[in-house]
A and B are shown apart, each in its own frame.
Chain A
Amino acid sequence: MIEIKLVVNEKPYNLNVEPSERLIDALRNRLGLLGTKEGCGEGECGACTIIMDGKTVNSCLVLAAQANGSVLTTIEGVGNRRSPHPVQKAFVEVGAVQCGFCTPGMVLSAKNLLDKNSHPSESEIGVAMSGNLCRCTGYDKILRAVKIAAEEGKQ
């Protein structure tokens, strides 16, 4: 076991993890943060997207031990029912959620884009969201929701 320290959604944790343990498993099984989804487990779908030190990563491809000393944001750290993040509000408004499996990853990719670039162009939005696969929505409403959230941020 390896001892690691990390900050998840603004809370500090000390964890003992297996050397081969993936970050997604540490988040889901040790911290009970089930909002992060595992789709493919091989870095292709983006369902497991989280923000690690200001960058989006596929948490299925990161070892928990690699996250030692990092600051992480999972979907549980992005707004809630009472005060949703502008991206979440826009998703609900336009109906960008169908089965919802891709949604946590989509929201984190969108949030990270807007944190870095509050005035993204349409093609910047497309590129930022292209690492997250969605089988239900055809992306149409998702891209529209990100645009709305970006516009709201501008005001």
Chain B
Amino acid sequence: MKKRGIGLGCSWYGTGYGNGFPDVSSAFVEIHDDGSATVLTGAVDVGQGSNSIFAQIVAEELGLEAQDICVYSGDTDATPDSGTTAATRQTYNTGNAVLKAVRQAKSSLLVYAAREFSCPTSEGIELKEGYIGVKGDPSRRVPLADLVFQARLRGERFISAESSTARSTPVDPETGQGAPYWPYSFGCQSAEVEVDTETGVVQVLKVVAVHDVGKALNPTQVEGQIAGGVTQGIGYALLEELELNEGKIKNPAFSSYLIPTALDVPNIEAFFVEDAESTGPFGAKGLGEPAMLPTVAAIINAIDDAVGVRITSIPATPEKILKALAEKNGEVKKH
């Protein structure tokens, strides 16, 4: 018989290295005389999209388009260290370093521009749509490229190097007190499953995922990370079993270590909540790992809801489910 159930899973997750470990990211920025800018960071984009995020951050600050920004990343010959692409930290940590760096390069540009426009303070200058000029007076603005070109001929350069360190403290081993991570990421997912009581096979029919991302700097990437995370979560909950024999992996192949295929993924509805993180770049924080965590709990709870068995070790393979069902039915008979 096929039975359906619904389950809920919630998660909170501390991003960054945490526990007082120095979590430092760095960035170099230069604003060029063709109205473009270059940013260098050691952050490696493995497909999560950090390069796009850094281009967006620089563009936003300089009133340019993301395609005007050239991002160099992860080249030990040329880029400053930005730590690992791990711990859900690049958007927040390196994003903060990039934001600090572009703001610093921009501040000398603003000082120069204030002089040019005879503005008493650089606060009266704004960068918008590729132009730089006096705030609120569209007649007094020039293309950013023109101003930087002119400045260049006078020997001015708009270059910066900045680092950003995430704040955390080690946990006191005696009291358990401390602030081991910052910031935290929150998520909640619900899953609907169908359990075949004859075969023990679980089919995930639908997952709804809601995550607090602080601010979605790139909504397409947020959706992609949620769908990718949920799918890894489905593998984690139902399929992926790493078998070890004396420290050696017994199933190092896709034929014996199963990951979800296009046919294993249900309809995934991804939503995000934007509760700005005051210490993050434009309010953003990380989403990478948190996207896969609630999935497991939601699926295990949905199995319980469907057939009334509590699976306490993952993956919830058909064998485990059949065994649990048999035990449950045996117990029922005893009463």
Residues of A within 8 A of B (CB): 40, 42, 44-45, 94-95, 97-101, 126-127, 129-143
Contact check, B224 vs A95: say whether CB atoms are below 8 A apart.
Answer: yes
Q: Which of A129, A138, A140 has the largest number of chain B CB atoms within 10 A? A: A138
A135 to B46, CA, bound (A): 12
Contact check, A126 vs B263: say whether CB atoms are below 8 A apart.
Answer: yes
If A98-B47, A98-B48, A126-B262 touch, whether A42 touches B255 (CB-CB below 8 Å) is yes
A140 to B224, CA, bound (A): 8
In the complex, B265 has a CB within 8 A of chain A: yes
Q: Shortest CB–CB separation between residue B304 and chain A, in angstroms?
A: 24
Contact check, A138 vs B263: say whether CB atoms are below 8 A apart.
Answer: no
Closest to B234 in A: A138
Contact check, A143 vs B262: say whether CB atoms are below 8 A apart.
Answer: yes
In the complex, B312 has a CB within 8 A of chain A: no
Contact check, A135 vs B262: say whether CB atoms are below 8 A apart.
Answer: no
Contact check, B268 vs A140: say whether CB atoms are below 8 A apart.
Answer: yes
A135 to B224, CA, bound (A): 11
Contact check, B229 vs A98: say whether CB atoms are below 8 A apart.
Answer: no
Q: Which of B221, B226, B230, B265 has the largest number of chain A CB atoms within 10 A? A: B265
18 A-B pairs besides A98-B47, A127-B263 with CB distance below 8 A are A40-B253, A40-B254, A44-B253, A44-B254, A98-B48, A98-B224, A98-B228, A99-B47, A101-B47, A126-B262, A129-B262, A135-B232, A136-B48, A136-B228, A138-B231, A138-B265, A140-B224, A143-B262
Contact check, B262 vs A142: say whether CB atoms are below 8 A apart.
Answer: yes
Contact check, A138 vs B227: say whether CB atoms are below 8 A apart.
Answer: yes
Quick one: which of B47, B227, B228, B254 contacts A133, CB cutoff 8 A?
A: B254
In the complex, B66 has a CB within 8 A of chain A: no
List B contacts of A44 (CB < 8 A).
253-255
If A42-B255, A45-B254 touch, whether A139 touches B262 (CB-CB below 8 Å) is yes
Q: Which of A99, A100, A132, A139 has the largest number of chain B CB atoms within 10 A? A: A139
A17 to B284, CA, bound (A): 53
In the complex, B76 has a CB within 8 A of chain A: no
Describe A's contact surface by its main secondary structure: loop
In the complex, B145 has a CB within 8 A of chain A: no
A99 to B51, CA, bound (A): 12
Q: Shortest CB–CB separation between residue A131 and chain B, in angstroms?
A: 8
Closest to A95 in B: B220
List A contacts of B259 (CB < 8 A).
133, 135
Q: Shortest CB–CB separation between residue B95 and chain A, in angstroms?
A: 18
Closest to B47 in A: A99
In the complex, B261 has a CB within 8 A of chain A: yes
Q: Shortest CB–CB separation between residue A127 and chain B, in angstroms?
A: 7
Closest to A143 in B: B262
If A40-B253, A40-B254 touch, whether A138 touches B229 (CB-CB below 8 Å) is yes
Q: Mark B16-53, 1 if CB is under 8 A from A, else 0.
A: 00000000000000000000000000000011110000
List A contacts of B223 (CB < 8 A).
95, 140-141
Closest to A146 in B: B262
List A contacts of B227 (CB < 8 A).
137-141
* Residues of chain B in range 245-269 having any CB-CB distance to chain A below 8 Å: 253-255, 259-263, 265, 268
Q: Shortest CB–CB separation between residue A122 and chain B, in angstroms?
A: 10
A131 to B284, CA, bound (A): 36
Contact check, A133 vs B261: say whether CB atoms are below 8 A apart.
Answer: yes
Closest to B255 in A: A44
A97 to B45, CA, bound (A): 13
